[in-house]
Every structure is written in C-alpha cells, then in structure tokens.
Homo-oligomer: A and B are copies of this chain.
Amino acid sequence: MNSTSVAIVGFGKIARDQHVPALHDNAAFTLDAVASRNASLEGVAHFRDIQTLLDERPDIQAISLCAPPQVRYRQARAAIAAGKHVMLEKPPGATLSEVEDLRAQAERAGVTLFATWHSRYAAGVAQAREWLSERRVSSVNVQWKEDVRRWHPGQEWIWEAGGLGVFDPGINALSIITAILPEPFFLTQGELEVPANRQGPIAATLAFRDAYDADIRAEFDWRQTGPQTWDIHIETDAGPLSLTQGGSRLSIGDEVVMEGGDAEYPGLYARFAELIAHGESDVDVAPLRHVADAFLLGQRVSVDAFHE
C-alpha cells in the first residue's frame, strides 16, 4: 500500500507534541509539509499558509488541521475544494452549522472528512463502550477538573467568544460519554460560572437525562490546583464502571481491567487511514452539540475575575 502524503496546518504545541510523533510511527502516512506563519519542522517543507501549500504542492493528499477552531472552516473548505482528505482537531469548528456545511462539501467532493475527538481513543474507552452496550445505566458522574494556568498558559483565545472556556477540556469528557453510553442523552439543567472579565466559563455544572431517566451529571472546573481529575464513574444494573485518568484507566467492579499508556493520537491516525482506505467520513458533532446546548440552556453566573 502506498503511503498517504500528509501536511499539518497550524503548527503549535499539539501538532509538535502529538501529531508529529503519531505520524512518524504510522507507515500509512508520510509527513511531507507544514504550513504555519511562524513555526516550522526541520527536514519538512514549510509554507506560510494553507493556500500557498495547496498551490505549490498538488501531490499532498491529506491535510491535518491543528489551528484554533475560529479559523478552521476556511482552511478546511480550501483543502476540500482542492480535493484533499481532511482531519480536524477538536472541536471541529466554532459553530455547529459550519461543520454541517463542511460535511456536505466533503461528501460532494468525494473526500474523507474526519472530525476527531482524541479522548475517544484513550486506552480504556473501546472496552468501556463494549461492556456498557449490554447494561442499563442508572447514573453517570463526570469530574473533569484541572488547572487552567498549567494547561493553557497565555492562550487568550480560549477565553474569548468561540473559545469555549472550560468546555475546551470538558468537551473531551463529553466526547467519551457520547461514545460509551448506550443511549443518547440531553441537558436538562446547567450552570456556567463566568469570570467577570471573560466571555468563556471557568466552571460548569451540568445535569443530563436519557430516555430511561438515567441521572447523568458533569462538573467541569478550571480552578483545580494540586492533583488533576479527569474521571467518569458509571453505575449500571451489573455494577459500577470507572474510566479515570482521562480514559486511560478502566475499572469494572473492583477490578482494574485496563491501564494503558498514551494511545490517543496513534489511534486517530489509524482511524484516518482506515476512513481514507474505505472512502468514508466520520463527522460526529454530538460533543459540540452538547456544549452548544449548555450555552443555550445554561444559567450564567458571574464569578471573580480571572487573571493569569
């Protein structure tokens, strides 16, 4: 099988730390170019923006978009129009409607569009989904609490309109529970704590239900110093399941059944290769839809100004 020639557009921390090593280890892809205003990668062709890249390298077959969501639509549209397969970092866009539009464009162009949710490829997720598929869930408790100063230093865009605030990590939890719970669910109540000097929430408390009235709760908080928490606890008719450490550690009952290393980005690129090979797309907006629902239905409460 020939290797797919891929370019990364938007070369920040996530591209360097995750995408480059995952591509390096996957024989299905060759990283042939990077487009970024400021950053470059030694030994790989560099272009200052996606249009120059598309114009000068018609041989590139796929584009992995790692720029912030606010600019992603135009880049994705240009790549699709040029006939490239496209992989989108999460979230897939700044609005749900633009993602619907990209989905339609990719279908018309006959290219693969993959809206990724990296947390769905954490080590314990697939087995959790399989185990839960035959159980009746009675309650879900999501605790997703981290220190924003540690994980997002200097990232002003994350606080601005369209930047999602604490839902930027919280959407990872939502991407996991939308993947593993056997029934769809929806928000019934939400509270968003918004710092007086910011647009995006610093914390959120959410209550969901499913068609069987399972009690699904989530707490997202960016003010947690010390140990960091990315845990999901689920009660079922066959006992409890816990997916902790961001999804990499799975316990069923009292037993740890999986404790994996970091498998997320290798998993994403394996899936991207599979989608390209089968001529398919994978665009699930459910996690972003839940965030939009929280902004729509949630009660906003003003809290102390946040200064980094």
Residues of A within 8 A of B (CB): 73, 77, 94-98, 100-101, 104-105, 161-162, 164, 184-187, 190, 199, 210-211, 286, 289-293, 295-300
Contacts and interface: CB of A to CB of B under 8 A. Distances in A.
A214 to B, nearest CB: 12
Given A95-B297, A96-B296, A101-B210, 15 more contacts: A77-B211, A94-B296, A95-B187, A97-B185, A97-B187, A100-B186, A101-B184, A101-B211, A161-B299, A161-B300, A164-B296, A292-B292, A292-B295, A295-B296, A296-B296
| Identical copies of this chain, number | 2
Contact of A97 (B94, B184, B300): B184
A178 to B, nearest CB: 9
A143 to B, nearest CB: 21
A289 B187 contact: no
A263 B293 CA distance: 32
Contacts of A210: 101
A261 to B, nearest CB: 33
Contact of A295 (B98, B184, B289, B295): B295
A185 B77 CA distance: 13
A142 to B, nearest CB: 16
A272 to B, nearest CB: 24
Contacts of A293: 95-97, 292
A154 to B, nearest CB: 21
A199 B199 CA distance: 14
A176 B223 CA distance: 43
A166 to B, nearest CB: 14
Contacts of A211: 77, 101, 105
A293 to B, nearest CB: 4
A291 B291 CA distance: 13
14 contacts: A77-B211, A95-B293, A95-B296, A95-B297, A96-B289, A96-B292, A97-B186, A97-B187, A97-B286, A101-B184, A162-B296, A162-B297, A199-B299, A292-B296
Contact of A186 (B101, B161, B290): B101
